Amino acid sequence: MSEVIGRLGRVSVLAEDVADPVRPVSKDDFLADAQRYRRELLAHCYRMTGSLHDAEDLVQETYLRAWKAYDNFEGKSSIRTWLYRIATNTSLTSLDGRKRRPLPAGLGAPASDPNGDITEHREITWLEPLPDAPHEDPSDPSVIAESRESVRLAFVAALQHLSPRQRAVLVLREVLQWKAAEVGTAIGASTAAVNSLLQRARAQLDAVQPSQDDTVDAPESPEAQELLAKYIDAFETYDMAKLVELFTADAVFEMPPFDGWYQGPENIVALSKKHCPAEGPGDMRFTPVIANGQPAAALYMLNRETGRHEEFQLHVLATRADGIAHVVAFHADGTLFEKFGLPRVAT
């Protein structure tokens, strides 16, 4: 995890607090102009909460609060910085008293037996995936790469182990590259308190140690695309022997809301054979997408009663030079595919 933090520390474009153009003359003009920050504010609130649904609500609340308070905005910072302050405090308020959003591997239990029963826990508020920004066209392509780095599942899952204030400090300092004094102003803490929170947050992340995902391929890289294509083909043709060959020796597979997690290629394939409702080639269809800045694929499973392939899971992959290192298969809940702009039934 320290390697991930180190790479985030190089996010110069995202951290740049560029002076805003001429201050809009009305609150409505301000609100229209401030929409250009919506996507990055969504990513910020998502890092804080681990929930796309919550992040969307928090961004809306951020804009509402900013609109109401705009007459008191003195222009001592950029509008972008001001919006981040509001978004951070709105997120902290929303997190008060809430439990963290884990992935199954973060619950603290050992790896599960793939031949055992699987247990569904809808009552747990699980970490949610984040769709890629549609049609994003920044002036510098590194903006996409670095923003994706900061919403990768391994990083966001690790953030869930921190207290909300530790989370806020680490994101503002390491992702946005704010100075300690600026962070203190944003969250109402002294510089010394900010430095202490950051130190404890770094130590906590190192203790979590999701090291296997520290170096992964970009989703559009030829390597990642090739592995994703082979992964899809192995499932669609129901070639389990081919699937074994795609995973790294330490690969992890998990599928919230089921609480188990599985390690090693043979165990992952054994899990698929025992618990996947597919019976053979043609039962599964996949649509490639990008989630959390990682290669992903939406799985449509054949419903034998209707004869249609219906929404089932969203598989988010972490790929490395030696293969697929991690898969989180999020079960469709009636809204998941819609959030990714996907139909509920394959055409």
Q: Does residue 18 sit in the same domain as residue 144?
A: yes
Q: Does residue 317 sit in the same domain as residue 204?
A: no
Residue 262 lies in a domain: yes
Examine the pLDDT at 11 and tell me if it is beyond 50.
Answer: no
Confidence of residue 335 (pLDDT cuts 50, 70, 90): very high
pTM: 0.90
Examine the pLDDT at 170 and tell me if it is beyond 70.
Answer: yes
CATH of the domain at 255: 3.10.450.50
Examine the pLDDT at 194 and tell me if it is beyond 70.
Answer: yes
Q: Does residue 318 sit in the same domain as residue 253?
A: yes
pLDDT at position 201:
97
Q: Does residue 122 sit in the same domain as residue 246?
A: no
Rounded CA-CA distance 286/79 in Å is 42
pLDDT at position 230:
98
Residue 346 lies in a domain: no
Residue 347 lies in a domain: no
Of 139 and 174, which is predicted with more confidence?
174
Residue 345 lies in a domain: no
Q: Which of 265, 274, 276 is nearest to 242 (CA)?
A: 265
How confident is the model over 66-100, as pLDDT tens digits? 999 998 887 778 899 999 999 999 999 999 999 99
Q: Does residue 325 sit in the same domain as residue 227?
A: yes
Label each residue of the chain as H, E or C: CHHHHHHHCCCHHHHCCCCCCCCCCCHHHHHHHHHHHHHHHHHHHHHHHCCHHHHHHHHHHHHHHHHHHHHHCCCCCCHHHHHHHHHHHHHHHHHCCCCCCCCHHHHCCCCCCCCCCCCECCCCCCCCCCECCCCCCCCCCHHHHHHHHCCCHHHHHHHCCCCHHHHHHHHHHHHCCCCHHHHHHHHCCCHHHHHHHHHHHHHHHHHHCCHHHCCCCCCCCHHHHHHHHHHHHHHHCCCHHHHHHHEEEEEEEECCCECCEEECHHHHHHHHHHHCCCCCCCCEEEEEEEECCEEEEEEEEEECCCCEEEEEEEEEEEEECCEEEEEEEEECCCCHHHHCCCCCECC
From residue 269, how far is each of 2, 27, 108, 195, 231 by CA, in Å? 31, 56, 23, 45, 12
Q: Does residue 35 sit in the same domain as residue 121?
A: yes
pLDDT at position 217:
84
Boundary-marking domain end, from 213, 232, 252: 213
Rounded CA-CA distance 156/19 in Å is 29
How confident is the model over 88-133, as pLDDT tens digits? 999 999 999 999 999 999 999 999 999 999 999 999 999 999 999 7
Q: Does residue 315 sit in the same domain as residue 335?
A: yes
Of 246 and 73, which is predicted with more confidence?
246
What's the whole-number mean pLDDT along residues 244-248? 97
Rounded CA-CA distance 188/172 in Å is 13
Residue 34 lies in a domain: yes
Boundary-marking domain end, from 186, 213, 240: 213
Rounded CA-CA distance 32/28 in Å is 6
pLDDT at position 167:
97
pLDDT at position 75:
76
Return all residues near 42 (Cβ < 8 A) that are at least 6 apart.
55, 56, 59
Look up tokens 């994003």; give the residue.
Answer: 136
Examine the pLDDT at 183 and tell me if it is beyond 80.
Answer: yes
Question: What residue type is 159 in one-letter code?
Answer: L
Rounded CA-CA distance 166/143 in Å is 25
How confident is the model over 12-25, as pLDDT tens digits? 334 445 445 445 55
Residue 282 lies in a domain: yes
Examine the pLDDT at 315 and tell me if it is beyond 90.
Answer: yes
Q: What percent of the chain has pLDDT over 70?
A: 87
Residue 254 lies in a domain: yes
Look up tokens 């992903």; give the residue.
Answer: 296
Examine the pLDDT at 254 and tell me if it is beyond 90.
Answer: yes
Enclosing domain of residue 187: 2-213
pLDDT at position 9:
55
Boundary-marking domain end, from 213, 245, 277: 213
Confidence of residue 5 (pLDDT cuts 50, 70, 90): low
Residue 126 lies in a domain: yes
Q: What percent of the chain has pLDDT over 90?
A: 78
Examine the pLDDT at 185 and tell me if it is beyond 90.
Answer: yes
Rounded CA-CA distance 326/211 in Å is 11
Q: Does residue 203 sit in the same domain as residue 233?
A: no
Domains identified in the chain, total number: 2
Q: Does residue 264 sit in the same domain as residue 330?
A: yes
Q: Does residue 189 sit in the same domain as residue 51?
A: yes
Q: Decide if 212 contacts 249 (C-beta within 8 A).
A: no
Q: Does residue 138 sit in the same domain as residue 96?
A: yes
What's the whole-number mean pLDDT along residues 143-160? 83
Q: Does residue 178 sit in the same domain as residue 238?
A: no
Mean per-residue pLDDT over the chain, rounded: 89
